[in-house]
């Protein structure tokens, strides 16, 4: 019984730690600061949030990796969302620099490229989602650049 309790407690910590990884803001029609910070189950109606990978993407200098960026759509949110990527470390690019998640889709794939001289270490790229109406949403894409 003690062993079962210990396993459950450890599993809960892992789940909660994973949830903290992606703590972005919601966007879309009618989002206000108060609504965006509400603790609700699921995505609020007519809004969206950006869901980058839960774990850091590791890339070596001189390498390119495909990364999937998803959006979570609330009920009745069918707009396309234009994504932009800011605060990139020296020598790292995202292609396309302005990707679009079409209204009928929930994800887009982008290529993250680290040049031969890209800054090494852990980095955070700011991802902003701009809907055709309403406020933007933001989140963070974590990458780690290793020596080639």
Cα–Cα–Cα angle for 45, 71, 17, rounded to 5 degrees: 100
The 10s digit of each residue's pLDDT in 118-135 is 999 999 999 999 999 999
Question: Structurally, what CATH architecture does the domain formed by 2-146 represent?
Answer: Sandwich (2.60)
Tell me the pLDDT tens digit for each residue of 17-65: 444 445 789 988 877 644 444 444 678 999 999 999 999 999 999 999 9
What pTM was estimated for this model as a whole? Answer: 0.78
């Amino acid at each position: 019984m003690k062993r079962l309790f210990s396993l459950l407690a450890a599993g809960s910590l892992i789940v909660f730690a994973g949830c903290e990884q992606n703590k972005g803001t919601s966007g879309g029609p009618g989002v206000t600061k108060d609504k965006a910070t509400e603790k609700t189950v699921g995505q609020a109606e007519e809004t969206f949030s950006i869901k980058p990978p839960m774990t850091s993407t590791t890339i070596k200098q001189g390498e390119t990796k495909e990364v999937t960026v998803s959006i979570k759509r609330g009920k009745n949110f069918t707009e396309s969302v234009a994504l932009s990527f800011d605060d990139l470390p020296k020598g790292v690019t995202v292609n396309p620099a302005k990707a679009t998640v079409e209204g009928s889709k929930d994800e887009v794939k982008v290529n993250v490229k680290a040049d031969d001289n890209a800054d090494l270490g852990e980095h955070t790229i700011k991802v902003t989602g701009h809907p055709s109406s309403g406020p933007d949403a933001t989140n963070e894409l974590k990458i780690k650049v290793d020596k080639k």
